[in-house]
Amino acid sequence: MLICCLAPLPGSAPCDIRSMAEFVVRESLSAHQHGASVILWPEYLWAFCSDVNTATPALLESLLSPLKKEKLFVLAGTLQIVCSEGKAPSNTALILSHGQWYLQDKIALAPREASMTSTHAIRLFTINGLRIATLICMDVEMPELGTLLKQQSVDILLVPFCVEDEEGIRRIAVCAEARSIELGCYTAICPLLGTPPGNKAEAIGDIQFFHPAQKAFANVPPPVIERTQILLTGTCPIDSKALRLARRNWMESTPSTSFCSGISVKSSDSES
């Protein structure tokens, strides 16, 4: 199985919802024709659309409907969604699995998202026998969420993100690799690139892939990162055999959820 991350280069993203949907459909189907069955787009992808305030889940599902004809798993970016009148918006991922669209909110909201809401739920999907979960941006920085997913035998973790500084890139990348080691899974991170309308700072980052730090992955094929005129793309083959071998030797490098049972923390400091 092949994962493909697609990040529009600055200035290349369409500026209205219908054109963006056509862009996502076209490039997703192209990636599928080249072997990808799991496709990841960035956080806040739809923020580039000047008419994004008119977007609803029903409208986007309709515009992206050509993707349902293929056997694809697509995380078609995130956007702010108001699902009911009077409710604060959520930063929500649009996820296509087995021909059905699903919504998943970002859980760990950034300071600029303080007024937003979340359903506080992580959806799990099974594709070709492999379990997929999503942690949006800051969600991957939360070890507690990794502990929850550890109990679910997740094979692939998808992380769409949007950051505006080098420190943010480092946090996402380091924590994504940590989750790969802890969960014994593949992790893909996909950045927003450029400056959406109304933003003051430019979103930056790189597509990266991580896998468990175990001997079973010593010789797996490396990911391929390419740049076209409009897209930064990254593809990574999933070695399910390596995953199975790693699961037989959890304690080589993947911490157990029960390891800290019975361990206490004691302070040796005395107050002055």
Separation between Cα atoms, residue 89 and residue 81, nearest integer Å: 5
**Helix (H/G/I), strand (E/B), else coil: 100:** strand
Whole-model pTM? 0.93
* CB contact burial 213-243 (16+ within 10 A = b; e otherwise): ebebbeebeebeeeeeeebbbbbbbbbeebb
Minimum mean pLDDT range among 116-125, 134-143, 164-173, 225-234: 116-125
Q: What are the tens digits of pLDDT across the range 170-212?
A: 999 999 999 999 899 999 999 999 998 878 889 999 999 999 9
Given its phi and psi angles, is residue 106 left (phi above 0), alpha (psi -120 to 50 degrees) or beta?
beta
Please give the pLDDT value at position 251.
64
Separation between Cα atoms, residue 180 and residue 189, nearest integer Å: 11
Pick the closest to residue 204 from 9, 2, 1, 37 (CA basis): 9
pLDDT at 100 over 80: yes
For domain 2-249, which architecture applies?
4-Layer Sandwich (3.60)
Pick the closest to residue 102 from 91, 94, 110 (CA basis): 94
